[in-house]
């Protein structure tokens, strides 16, 4: 499951990097993906919207057994 999540993150990573940020996959535990948003994303007020509307949607579309995506503080 982790490998599939990593594949999705690798596909969306360039878009996040274009805005000066990046995504680090910390772990996948019991269907919950834990990510760290870094760079300009770490303090951006829109980062939670990006996480929920973009990243989580993409991951859950490709890996339906994922039940949630959480941001881990940097």
- Any idea which fold 2-71 has? GMP Synthetase; Chain A, domain 3 (3.30.300)
> What is the reported pLDDT for 49?
67
> What is the reported pLDDT for 44?
66
Model confidence pLDDT, tens digit, residues 44-64: 667 666 667 788 999 999 999
Domain locations in the chain as residue ranges: 2-71
> What is the reported pLDDT for 54?
84
25 vs 13, 34, CA distance in Å?
11, 6
> What is the reported pLDDT for 47?
66
Q: Give, for 21, the enclosing helix (H) or strand (E).
A: strand 21-29
> What is the reported pLDDT for 63?
97
55 vs 12, 46, 48, 63, CA distance in Å?
8, 13, 10, 12
Model confidence pLDDT, tens digit, residues 2-39: 999 999 999 999 988 888 888 999 999 999 999 998 88
What are the residue ranges of helices labelled H in 1-74?
2-18, 47-49, 57-62
């Amino acid at each position: 499951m982790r490998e599939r999540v990593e594949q999705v993150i690798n596909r969306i990573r360039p878009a996040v990097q274009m805005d000066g940020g990046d995504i680090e996959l910390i772990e996948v535990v019991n269907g919950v993906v834990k990510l760290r948003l870094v760079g300009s994303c770490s303090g951006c007020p829109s980062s939670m919207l990006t996480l929920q509307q973009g990243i989580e949607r993409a991951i859950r579309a490709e890996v339906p057994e994922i039940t949630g995506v959480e941001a881990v503080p940097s």
